[in-house]
């Protein structure tokens, strides 16, 4: 329908963003709408149901294509691999009310100024705005550019000068009113979904509609017992689902509601400052920040003063961050691009807490509202929870295909039934009823419930281990993980950094190490002053708070922190300035104290932090700290896993105002003071867990923001890089001037450095090419900068490097997400484990995200561990594998159970007979339902094996298993059906053959006249019925035992005591019914009593079926060595991208290159990232 597009009918929404969509314009036609209404009435509501399941069909049926400018309905389609459709009505906002109260006319300057999107959206002369609302975001129609654009944010093109000029004094009341109408309220409204809405949405699931059809059919056949049982199971299932959804809705509502009702101070251009409810804020409003502990109700750009903010909601780590004002620069470049520093240092994000607001010369802390509502950082986080990215897991697609195959099988059975019953002259209503019965037999209604129980059991086992899951369906995905990325600090290593020592430096070079463990006081001087002042700590309620590393560094100086008072006067210093002083225990010091006049916060882009301080009755100084790069001295410490910080300083002119100093000028021509050495130890659990994952052939990758050489050492110590394995440094550099981008490869060699007292390791770059460079495995290590250059200039090399890339250091949050995505494009199933700090994007991007933080940031992660170590990762993989195997077991069992009933019923239909309601009830409820609930109770195998379970239902072993068992069941039923008709007692004019117990069967005489078949009180009773029922019922028990898998992914079946007990009881009851001669029992179950010898024959047929089925399952289906041999014999090779690259690299004698430098114009293997479609190929 969407192939023939009119001009202007199609466009892209959010082009280039993660949530990019195609948008199509449509116009509703009354005649089409009337026809759809008539169709809905005559189809008894089936047509609206189909439209509900297929939104695009609804639009195509009711509307005709048109340009987006004329559309009253838009059809949206995601551009990812899922191609999900939705539709929205185009709505209108009228500004006519404002024109009456504020005197706004089409010629008003506020309307005619088309510099901003808001003004371009107003249609003249009627002053109306067209808009749509998609996933909580408003998009207005830009009349000038002819497209829908997001509203609720300041324009990206605004320069810092423009922001100060346009919004520095606030908006007028008229501008505020216009923006409120068009942008909507500044609120992250997550309404608690009413139970009736959740109930309707759940009930309209196709599965429950099929169950409704089945239940109605069963009631018409008086099969009310099982119908009631299915209704009860469905009600419980729906109730549990609705309860969970309701609880999540309530939790999310409470998470955001506190930010929707805050009173803020807003500066209006004419009226001045006034208190306002935060819901009324609009982009461009000027906020006045006062006091402390203020919750930010929106995203805002700080333009005056500075703030200390707790961004735990965003980063998962409650470390105060200092925000600096956006300076007014003459450049016309967008404000985000005007400096190399991270623009986020100027932004106060919604949901974060302003701990402290420090006024500048103007006397106030001012911020311009940047984004409101769901456009904010917190709004984006909430939207990611409300509208999660669908999973591209082929198991679920295979499940749909599996059900469609059963429907196809049922269709064949329906045709067979119609033919048999029509030729037998049965009444039409009976023919229809029997034909419809076949569908409910071939498609088991209990399948989804049985599958859900396996996931629920796994979720409970995880909960007992302190692992909480908000996306239960991802547990199955955990079973396919073959690569896990880890953050370093706080994940592999302990979160805190302890000062180990300092290495002072003077004109003669590095001096002796001062160890803090010695207990000696740190020598006073510029180095000590730098440690005491160059940080982002704050004093709040008498307690020093801030980054743990800064806190440890400051405590090592034994100085104290105070707020400036009357006894500390410096010209130009603001009131309540932070002051650091030596304590009495320090002894004689060269300075009485330092006032911190200005901070340049740590920037991930610049990798440094600087402060300007004023000595009491002394000089004005600048102190800077930066991750060190003094290779010769640094490697002694980084190789042992230490964190090394370099400190430097310079003198400044006392007369120059600090606000006028540019960062670039302050941070140039400094004098090096020395190195601060901080210790970062591995967690005790790290090495055993990594060894377990590596032994299970699960790749482990480190992604950290720390120093590259420190990361290499931690990788070696943790076992991520084992002894004897080589590490190759990959360094890529951007193009400079006439030279193109380059990449070099250097082998890192582990050597011994032996000082006087102890033996340390350090890293050395080998210059010579080793003779055996290709022997053993190797790992690539690279920085975030090199990763960026590789992505931009060496796309052909990127996948080859990723195949052995293990250590990625100095990675920004965005680069972490990009790296995870690149691994996914190589068809890896990627897990990401982080402590929440800067890992949110990667946690969301990965197939399985595991957060070790319980901060609000963890709500975006599917899994959260209460224990802050990586032991949760193997637990999760084990449970995932067990859950995946359990799902396959249930699919196989339910397929066999339905096919066993299907074959039996079709054989009985040949005689225009069937199973009675109680016979069906015994099989459905007493056998299958109990097995479905208990088969899933097997726990996970405590050992991780070096291979994964099959990831697809259509894998050859699974298909072969199902087909062989169906054929065995079919053969057994046909043999039983044919043989029973050939027995000498089959034609006896008796209700049963039990009256001839002690006589020889061969002596039985039969009536010369053929009687009616086994005349009985029940229309179902017959020898065929009795034989088929016993064979089918006991076969259901046997198949459950055969399909219940234990090792290597689950615990052995005998450990599932409840399941084993259920099977024993079921088998005992069936054998009792088979061999007990109780007429009343036979009458209730519509069975006929047969000779004991025939019952033995039935047992022999069942036993033979069990022996063959079990032997096939153990010797063929579960024989991994056999299947690997078959693959080799037929030359099968995995189509997964990473497997293809492994084969290519194994045959490349020139890989890896060593001690080489290549330029970006080099010819390499061409590579274009594949679509994320094939990311789940089999091993």
Q: What's the CA gap between 438 and 907, in Å, rounded?
A: 12
DSSP label at residue 83: -
β-bridge mates for residue 1159, sequence order: 742
Cis peptide upstream of residue 1152 (ω within 30 degrees of 0): yes
**CA 503 to centroid of chain Cα atoms:** 44
Which residue pairs, CB below 8 angstroms and at least 24 apart, start in 398-406?
398/952, 398/953, 398/954, 399/891, 399/953, 401/953, 401/954, 402/891, 402/895, 402/953, 403/443, 403/447, 406/442, 406/443, 406/444, 406/895, 406/898
- Rounded to an integer, what distance in angstroms lies between the CA atom of residue 933 and that of residue 465? 22
The Cα-based distances of 60 to 24, 79, 267, 875, 1168 in angstroms read 11, 19, 50, 48, 36
Q: Would you state the structure tokens that stand for residue 51, as one six-digit string?
A: 């439209």
Alpha carbons within 13 A on the beta-carbon side of 1167: 25
Distance separating alpha carbons of residues 411 and 433, to the nearest angstrom: 14
Give me the residue label for tokens 């004698």: 1149
835 flagged as catalytic: no
User: No. of H helices and E strands in the chain?
Assistant: 37, 43
DSSP class of 682 = B
Q: Which strand (E) or helix (H) includes residue 664?
A: helix 663-666
Give the H or E element holding residue 65.
Answer: strand 63-65
Q: At what angle are helices 872-909 and 428-442 packed, to 10 degrees?
A: 150
| Segment holding 1078, helix H or strand E | none
Tokens found for residue 730 = 């990959």
Distance between CA atoms of residues 743 and 782, nearest Å:
11
Query: Is the separation of the CB atoms in 1044 and 1001 below 8 Å?
Result: no
- Identify any residues that bridge with 545 across adjacent strands, giving them in sequence order: 538
β-strands 483-486, 671-679 pairing: unpaired
Cα–Cα distance list, 1139 to 30, 576, 1146 (Å): 56, 62, 11
**131: which 2 tokens?**
């808009």
- Distance, CA of 296 to chain centre: 27
Q: What does the alpha-carbon distance between residue 671 and residue 647 come to, in Å, rounded to a whole number?
A: 9
Of 365, 444, 367, 373, the closest CA to residue 405 belongs to 444
Per residue, what are the HEC states of 695-707? HCCCEEEEECCCC
Question: Of 487, 547, 706, 1086, which is the active-site residue?
Answer: 487
Within 8 A by CB and 6+ apart from 8, the residues are 25, 67, 68, 69, 146
Q: Which residues contact 1092 (CB under 8 A, 6 or more apart)?
A: 997, 1075
Say if CB 66 and CB 6 are below 8 A apart.
yes
Task: Tell me if 710 sits within 8 A of 643, measured CB to CB.
Answer: yes
Instruction: Name which of 440, 430, 302 is nearest 365 in CA terms.
Output: 302
Sheet containing strand 147-150, strands side by side: 91-94, 128-134, 137-142, 147-150
Residues acting as catalytic residues: 487
């Amino acid at each position: 329908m969407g192939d023939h597009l009119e001009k202007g009918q199609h466009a892209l929404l959010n082009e280039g963003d993660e949530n990019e969509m195609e948008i199509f314009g449509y116009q509703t036609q009354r005649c089409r709408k009337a026809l759809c209404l008539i169709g809905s009435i005559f189809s008894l509501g089936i047509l609206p149901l189909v439209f509900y399941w297929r939104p695009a069909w609804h639009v195509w049926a009711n509307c005709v294509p048109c340009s987006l400018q004329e559309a009253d309905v838009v059809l949206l389609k995601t551009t990812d691999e899922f191609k999900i459709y939705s539709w929205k009505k185009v709505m209108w906002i009228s500004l006519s009310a404002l024109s009456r109260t504020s005197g706004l006319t089409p010629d008003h300057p506020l309307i005619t100024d088309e510099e901003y999107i808001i003004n371009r959206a107003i249609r003249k002369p009627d002053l109306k705005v067209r808009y749509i609302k998609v996933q909580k975001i408003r998009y207005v129609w830009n009349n000038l550019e002819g497209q829908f654009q997001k509203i609720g944010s300041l324009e990206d093109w605004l320069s810092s000068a423009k922001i100060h000029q346009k919004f520095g004094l606030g908006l007028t009341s008229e501008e505020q009113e216009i923006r409120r109408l068009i942008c909507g309220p500044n609120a992250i409204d997550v309404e608690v979904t009413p139970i009736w809405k959740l109930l309707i949405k759940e009930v309209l699931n196709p599965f429950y509609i099929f169950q409704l059809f089945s239940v109605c059919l069963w009631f018409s056949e008086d099969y009310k017992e099982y119908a009631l049982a299915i209704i009860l199971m469905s009600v419980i299932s729906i109730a549990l689902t609705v309860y969970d959804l309701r609880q999540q809705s309530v939790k999310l509502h409470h998470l955001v509601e506190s930010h929707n009702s805050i009173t803020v101070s807003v500066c209006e251009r004419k009226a001045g400052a006034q208190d306002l409810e935060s819901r009324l804020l609009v982009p461009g409003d000027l906020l006045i920040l006062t006091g402390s502990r203020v919750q930010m109700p929106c995203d805002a750009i700080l333009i005056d003063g500075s703030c200390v903010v707790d961004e735990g909601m965003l980063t998962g780590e409650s470390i105060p961050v200092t925000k600096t004002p956006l300076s007014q620069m003459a450049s016309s470049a967008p404000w985000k691009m005007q400096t190399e520093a991270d623009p986020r240092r100027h932004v106060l994000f919604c949901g974060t807490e302003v701990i402290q607001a420090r006024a500048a010369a103007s006397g106030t802390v001012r911020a311009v509202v940047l984004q409101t509502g769901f456009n904010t950082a917190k709004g984006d986080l909430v939207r990611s929870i409300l509208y999660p990215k669908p999973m591209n897991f082929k198991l679920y697609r295979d499940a749909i295909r599996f059900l469609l195959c059963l429907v196809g099988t049922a269709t064949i059975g329906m045709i067979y039934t119609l033919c048999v019953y029509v030729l037998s002259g049965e009444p039409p209503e009976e023919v229809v009823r029997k034909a419809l019965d076949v569908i409910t037999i071939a498609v088991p209604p209990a399948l989804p419930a049985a599958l859900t129980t396996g996931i629920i059991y796994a979720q409970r086992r995880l909960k007992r281990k302190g692992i909480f899951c908000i996306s239960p369906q991802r547990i199955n995905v955990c079973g396919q993980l073959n690569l896990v990325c880890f953050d370093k600090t706080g994940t592999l290593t302990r979160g805190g950094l302890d000062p180990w020592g300092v290495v002072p430096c003077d004109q003669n070079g590095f001096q002796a190490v001062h160890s803090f463990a010695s207990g000696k006081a740190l020598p006073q001087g510029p180095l000590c002053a730098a440690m005491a002042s160059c940080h982002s700590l704050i004093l709040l309620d008498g307690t020093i708070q801030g980054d743990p590393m800064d806190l440890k560094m400051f405590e090592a100086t034994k100085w104290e922190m105070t707020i400036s008072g009357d006894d500390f006067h410096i010209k130009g210093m603001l009131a309540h300035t932070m002051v650091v002083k030596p304590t009495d225990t320090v002894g004689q010091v060269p300075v009485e104290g330092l006032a911190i006049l200005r901070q340049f916060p740590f920037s991930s882009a610049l990798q440094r932090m600087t402060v300007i301080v004023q000595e009491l009755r002394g000089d004005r100084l600048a102190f800077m700290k930066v991750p060190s790069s003094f290779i010769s001295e640094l490697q002694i410490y980084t190789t042992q896993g230490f964190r090394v910080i370099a400190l430097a300083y310079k003198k400044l002119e006392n007369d120059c105002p600090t606000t006028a100093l540019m960062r670039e000028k302050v941070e140039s021509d400094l004098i090096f003071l020395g190195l601060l050495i901080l210790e970062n130890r591995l967690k005790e659990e790290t090495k055993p867990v990594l060894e377990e994952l590596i032994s299970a052939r699960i790749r482990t990758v480190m992604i950290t923001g720390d120093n590259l050489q420190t990361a290499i050492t931690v990788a070696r110590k943790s076992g991520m890089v084992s002894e004897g394995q080589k590490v190759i440094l990959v360094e890529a550099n951007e193009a400079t001037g006439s030279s193109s981008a380059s990449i070099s490869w250097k082998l890192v060699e582990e050597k011994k450095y032996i000082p006087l007292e102890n033996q340390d390791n350090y890293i050395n770059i080998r210059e010579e090419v080793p003779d055996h460079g290709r022997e053993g495995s190797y790992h690539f290590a690279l920085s975030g900068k090199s990763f960026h250059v590789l992505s931009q200039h060496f796309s052909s090399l990127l996948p080859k490097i990723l195949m052995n890339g293990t250590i990625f250091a100095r990675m920004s949050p965005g680069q972490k997400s990009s790296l995870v995505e690149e691994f996914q494009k190589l068809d890896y199933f990627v897990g990401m484990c982080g402590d929440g700090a800067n890992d949110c994007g990667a946690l969301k991007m990965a197939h399985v995200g595991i957060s070790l933080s319980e901060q609000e940031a963890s709500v975006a992660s599917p899994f959260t561990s209460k224990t802050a170590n990586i032991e949760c990762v193997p637990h999760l993989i084990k449970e995932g594998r067990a859950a995946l195997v359990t799902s396959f077991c249930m699919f196989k069992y339910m397929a066999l159970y339905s096919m066993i009933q299907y074959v039996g019923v079709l054989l009985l239909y040949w005689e225009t007979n069937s199973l009675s309601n109680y016979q069906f009830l015994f099989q459905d409820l007493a056998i299958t339902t109990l097995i479905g609930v208990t088969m899933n109770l097997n726990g996970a195998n405590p050992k991780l094996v070096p291979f994964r379970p099959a990831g697809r239902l259509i894998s050859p072993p699974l298909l072969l298993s199902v087909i062989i068992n169906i054929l065995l069941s079919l053969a057994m039923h046909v043999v039983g059906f044919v043989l029973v008709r050939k027995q000498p007692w089959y034609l006896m004019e008796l209700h049963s053959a039990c009256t001839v117990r002690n006589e020889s069967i061969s002596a039985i005489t039969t009536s010369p006249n053929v009687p009616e078949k086994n005349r009985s009180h029940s229309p179902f009773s017959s020898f065929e019925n009795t034989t088929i029922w016993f064979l089918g019922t006991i076969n259901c028990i046997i198949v459950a035992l055969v399909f219940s898998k234990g090792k290597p992914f689950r615990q052995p079946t005998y450990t599932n005591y409840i399941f084993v007990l259920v099977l024993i009881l079921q088998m005992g009851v069936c054998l009792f019914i088979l061999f007990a001669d109780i007429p009343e029992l036979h009458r209730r179950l519509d069975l006929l009593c047969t000779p004991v010898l025939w019952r033995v024959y039935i047992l022999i047929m069942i036993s033979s079926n069990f022996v063959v089925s079990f032997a096939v399952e153990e010797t063929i289906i579960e024989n991994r060595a056999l299947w690997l041999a078959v693959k080799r014999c037929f030359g099968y090779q995995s189509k997964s991208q990473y497997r293809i690259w492994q084969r290519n690299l194994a045959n490349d004698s020139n890989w890896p290159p060593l001690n080489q430098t290549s330029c970006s114009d080099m010819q390499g293997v061409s590579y274009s990232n594949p679509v994320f479609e094939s990311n789940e190929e089999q091993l």
